[in-house]
Amino acid sequence: MTNSDPVSWLMIEPGWKVVDSQGQEVGSVDEVAGDSSDDIFNGLSISTSLLGKPRYLPSEQVGTITEGHVHLKLTKDQVEHLGEFEEPATTAEILPEQAGAVRRAESAVEAPTHSHPEGLNFLTRVAHALRRLRR
């Protein structure tokens, strides 16, 4: 497999480079949001700077995914205007109020999210940035 062969969203790892539609690096992956058991890709949390808050990138704005790189359909300017990343709601959290406790518990098991238990801290972001510079 060459570096430009497309890969599945399930392969994306924290620290991968995020590249805008013109090929300019705009940040790195913090987290992947989705349901790996049903192959549902919701989006990404991306860091655009060491001190800035992660931004949420919906899956619809992701173009090609290659080993180590996520290519976006957005320009750098559009990426800078993305909203702040918030932990996605699980299925159990968005069920109607009248759903019973058993159904809520089943939903939490049926639809786990493909993400990391906590966002990346500052030192981890620095480590990812240094690793990207060495490539």
Is position 43 within any domain? yes
Q: Is position 79 within any domain?
A: yes
Give the domain range for residue 49: 9-134
Q: Is residue 106, in this structure, part of any structural domain at all?
A: yes
Give the pLDDT confidence score for residue 53 in this predicted structure: 85
In a domain, 54, yes or no: yes
Beta-bridge partner residues of 96 = none
CATH of residue 117? 2.30.30.240
* Domain annotation covers residue 120: yes
**53-107 pLDDT tens trace:** 889 999 999 999 999 999 999 999 999 888 776 655 444 444 444 445 544 444 4
Cα 123 versus chain centre, distance: 19
> Residue 28 pairs with which residues in a beta bridge?
17, 47
Task: Report CA 98 to chain centroid distance, whole Å.
Answer: 31
- Extract the runs of DSSP E, i.e. beta strands, from 67-133: 69-72
Question: Is residue 4, in this structure, part of any structural domain at all?
Answer: no
- Pairwise CA distance, residues 54 & 50, whole Å: 9
* Domain-embedded: residue 1: no
Could you identify the residue written with the tokens 């399930």? Answer: 10
Question: Could you give the CA distance from residue 27 to residue 25 in angstroms, rounded to a whole number?
Answer: 6
> pLDDT tens for residues 4-24?
899 999 999 999 999 999 999
> Is residue 2 domain-resident?
no
Q: How far apart are CA 120 and CA 14, in angstroms?
A: 8
Q: Considering its fold, how many domains does the chain have in total?
A: 1
From 83, 78, 69, 61, select the one nearest 25 (Cα to Cα). 69
